[in-house]
Structure 1
């Protein structure tokens, strides 16, 4: 994204942090009321809206970053306000105290800093990965002809590309989620004319055939973004997707985040809760890269088996005799 769209807000020091958390504590009843309203609407709606619940979290993180002034994203700002299952009152009550505490103190919570720096706690992965994927887009944009966002959810990167770019953008996602997104883009007044939408179920359909039918050229260098998706697919779908990418033009790149098998097997309270909540949302955790140290090598082996080469990679979590990494960010290259 261009520099005019981004602004790194000062995180603030100990005094600013103290003021921020005092205000947040005083306004906690307001925040709690907002969560009750939000969750209640979600329960009442069930899954009838067709909206992926796990796609709402990253959009909310980008919406907060926009309103905190750390990462400008006007499409995300507009889309969040019209999304089914997100009550405007609940959203304002949840976010209002945080935004007010920020304005009073100047402090930005670590989860919403941009660019995100330092170690990434498990609970910050969804917001911290924004930095990784934005850097990848900036690095490869000048050298690609096509951008494909796999499992796009409510991603808004395709709508933030420079107006003069010649890159053709595609979004691939489940039919229900994509249909809702397209409808909401129109309602929010977001121009989506430059994006080609391709509906496909990764576990049931050949998304590449549908992509080609929509105008994708397998002979042109492409950047694939696969954010927040792999962990919700079965191994067969993950490997099939990687092999399809490996069959595209030489020099194409796929950027993705992943879990190891640790989140799927760990009996710690955090991961047990994470598995329970994603299962309750109808999107259980299914896939993880072998966590046997070094997990980077296990990832490289997986990619090689799918005819791809590991590019850059960052391991998330410590790897020791007693601890295993829980995830990572990576790129893979078509040779």
Structure 2
């Protein structure tokens, strides 16, 4: 297990994906049949137990008591990003996943073709990912490129190009559950690096609200604030000012997905009494000409 505290948070979202995928097709918020196989043995045992509906409901209820809306919010952000990957209108030539953690997206993509996917994370996390993938799948698919990189200190684009990446203008960059763990300086450096992306490239990323990170508004999520903000979460954005920030880095905001979007698009069709947290949002942007 990596010693970096942020890296240790990778298990939670993939455990959530594995449990959520046990719901019936009409009720699930996300469909990820690889998630369980990427977990350590004790978490896989918990997923097997969660085949019982009462235990899944208890897990969701426990999550909502400690962090109201986080279960649905994390599931919906994953669903939103999956939708952007599979959108036929996107015409994607490559995918770059920043802070990939234990995410299975690259390996679900590899099932259906040879679309190049570049997974970027800290070297210890990438080493762990390689071991997990080899255990779960036998080998890392040839189309998936694992890149060890410290985004706090090392330039992104140099590392990508050194590993065979070529941006045609139809690259989808993904940063899910990443920006809040970087320092403000590293976030600024990351967007400065992404300014080098070819016009037409797209970026989908999640962020925590700045007023939650600075403690101005805790949105009735005191337990989440105490658990994450003092030790782990360093950066946030304001939904109202995100467009201006992106424009300054050469990107144009296309849309933002927050709790009301998740409710109307993903949660309501399931008929489940869930709500998404207001503290985390997802944004989609395109590199401007």
Matched, 1:211 2:160: yes
Q: Paired residues, what number?
A: 260
SS in 2 for 1:184: helix
Q: Aligned partners of 1:233 and 1:216: how far apart in 2?
A: 24
Q: Aligned partners of 1:137 and 1:219: how far apart in 2?
A: 16
List gaps (5 residues or longer) in structure 1: 1-44, 113-119, 319-324
Match of 1:183 among 131, 139, 154: 131
Higher relative contact order (CA 8 A, sep 6+): 2
Distance 1:95 1:261, change over 3 A: farther
Matched, 1:100 2:59: no
Q: Render the CA deviation track for 1:238-296: whole Å, top value 9, x for unaligned.
A: 1222222221111100101111112211464954422332368x6x1111113xxxx33
Aligned to 1:133: 81
Aligned to 2:15: 60
Q: CA RMSD in A?
A: 3.2
Aligned to 1:300: 243
Q: Shift of residue 303 of structure 1?
A: 0.5
Where does structure 1 differ by over 6 angstroms across 4 or more consecutive aligned residues? Answer: 107-110
CA contact (8 A) 1:51 1:176 kept: no
Q: Aligned partners of 1:76 and 1:147: how far apart in 2?
A: 19
Matched, 1:146 2:111: no
Structure (1 or 2) with the larger CA radius of gyration: 1
Aligned to 2:224: 274
Matched, 1:244 2:193: yes
Q: Aligned partners of 1:111 and 1:146: how far apart in 2?
A: 35
Q: Aligned partners of 2:162 and 2:86: how far apart in 1?
A: 28
Q: Aligned partners of 1:217 and 1:303: how far apart in 2?
A: 23
Q: Aligned partners of 1:164 and 1:189: how far apart in 2?
A: 15
List gaps (5 residues or longer) in structure 2: 62-67, 262-277
